[in-house]
């Protein structure tokens, strides 16, 4: 398909990443730990394969210690097959590819789902990795359909993709939604249709305008008037309070603006990512091991629960961000990511083999206010941890 100069330039960052981006200096001890953790992850997920019923997907651990599963409509359905693709990429063991394909068959129908903003998570994590690793263009049409479905949730008056259809909200947009823009940017590069990337750009700009406080901490939920685009409320759903900094929300924002810079080379997004990173790393409530509390304003710090998922997402984002900034800032972000990964590779957060329902990491927090998935393993913590380890091995020099 013929692509004009605009689309060539949009693709250029990914093509040239290895030539212009600086890599961080390798910590030999962490490289050893990274390999050990990836090999452990592979063994754990071999156990997971036998542990999870064929008709469902792993999600977390129930209060009684049993495995919590989901169907394909749950927002985390793409992470388990996505992690299997990463493990196949690392081990070359076809068992991981076969498991990914088996679970993707359950998720495939969600390409038509227009009732969720999470199609980037659900579809791009497994099918995008499948396309990248196998080069099988059969996945292209599935991803393009997914991008079209996601685009139906865009309101041009507001300039955002609607996050939820539930509750009393008028038009809720959550910071998590930044993560799903990667699918739209890819769809423009693949199809030549400007509309997808334009929606991503407008959503990112609106979110940058309305979601962030002067210190670059993020609100979780912004509710808009769908008729006028006016902000009605700035709230939280999973954080401590409307005014607090929910740690995974900060991680989603950091990762989202980093990927927007990668895909567009718009320095506005790079600056936003840097500001968010600095809020996180300079936060007075950041623990010494750089595994955040579930909310940076939790009242029971230093005894507050940690959120390992926030650390995994943040570490992966910081590794990438370090490649786009000045040498001094890049070193600071890289070193912070190293410290996070070193912590996550330790017995404090890495599960014991054969335990933890075969998940890799322990001690994540889904939604403490709803008493849901509290201090448990989560599939997305595993996904971004494995991604970060692979990025570290690839980019360390």
Active-site positions read 118, 176
DSSP string, 215-230: TS-B-SEEEE-TTT--
β-sheet bridge partners, residue 235 = 221
- Sign, CA torsion 169/175/176/182: positive
Nearest Cα to 104, choosing from 72, 131, 73, 133? Answer: 72
Distance CA 113, CA 149 (A): 6
β-sheet bridge partners, residue 246 = 295
| HSE, side-chain direction, 13 A CA sphere, residue 241 | 6
Q: How many residues in total does the chain contain?
A: 397
Answer for the pair 310, 250: CB distance below 8 angstroms, yes or no.
yes
N- to C-terminal Cα separation, the chain: 37
Residues 6 or more apart from 70 whose CB is under 8 A from it? 56, 57, 58, 59, 76, 77
Answer for the pair 249, 232: CB distance below 8 angstroms, yes or no.
no
Long-range own/partner contacts, residues 162-171 (CB < 8 A, 24 or more apart) = 162/117, 163/117, 163/221, 164/117, 165/115, 169/221, 169/223, 170/223, 170/224, 170/225, 170/226, 170/232, 171/223, 171/224, 171/225, 171/226
**Cβ burial, residue 370 (10 Å; 0-12/13-18/19+):** exposed
| HSE, side-chain direction, 13 A CA sphere, residue 392 | 33
């Amino acid at each position: 398909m013929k692509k004009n100069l605009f689309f060539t330039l949009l693709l250029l960052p990914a093509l040239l990443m290895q030539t212009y981006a600086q890599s961080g200096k390798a910590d030999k001890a962490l490289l050893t730990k990274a390999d050990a953790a990836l090999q452990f992850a592979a063994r754990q997920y071999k156990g997971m394969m036998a542990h999870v019923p064929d008709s469902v997907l792993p999600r977390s651990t129930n209060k009684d210690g049993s495995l919590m599963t989901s169907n394909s409509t749950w927002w985390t359905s793409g992470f388990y097959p996505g992690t299997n693709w990463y493990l196949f990429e690392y081990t070359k063991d076809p068992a991981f590819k076969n498991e990914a394909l088996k679970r993707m068959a359950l998720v495939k129908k969600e390409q038509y789902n227009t009732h969720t903003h999470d199609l980037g998570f659900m579809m791009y994590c497994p099918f995008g990795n499948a396309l990248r690793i196998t080069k099988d263009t059969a996945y292209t049409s599935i991803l393009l359909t997914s991008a079209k479905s996601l685009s139906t949730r865009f309101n041009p008056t507001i300039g955002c993709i609607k996050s939820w259809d539930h509750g009393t909200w008028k038009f809720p947009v959550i910071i998590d939604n930044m993560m799903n823009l990667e699918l739209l940017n890819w769809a423009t590069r693949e199809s030549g249709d400007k509309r997808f990337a334009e929606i991503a750009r407008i959503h990112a700009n609106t979110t940058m305008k309305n979601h962030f406080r002067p210190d670059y901490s993020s609100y979780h939920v912004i509710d808009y008037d769908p008729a006028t685009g006016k902000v009605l409320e700035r709230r939280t759903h999973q954080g401590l309070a409307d005014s607090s900094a929910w740690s995974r929300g900060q991680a989603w924002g950091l990762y989202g603006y980093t990927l927007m810079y990668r895909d567009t080379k718009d320095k506005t997004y790079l600056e936003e990512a840097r500001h968010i990173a600095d809020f996180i790393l300079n936060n007075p409530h950041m623990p010494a091991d750089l595994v955040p509390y579930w909310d940076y304003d939790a009242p029971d710090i230093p005894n507050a629960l940690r959120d390992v998922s926030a650390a995994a997402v943040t570490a992966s984002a910081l590794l990438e961000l370090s490649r786009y900034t000045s040498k001094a800032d890049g070193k600071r972000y890289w070193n912070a990511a190293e410290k996070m990964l070193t912590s996550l590779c330790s017995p404090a957060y890495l599960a014991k083999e054969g335990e933890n329902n075969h998940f890799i990491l322990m001690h994540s927090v889904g939604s403490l206010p709803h008493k849901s998935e509290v201090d448990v393993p989560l599939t997305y913590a595993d996904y971004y941890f494995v991604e970060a380890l692979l990025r570290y091995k690839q980019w360390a020099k």
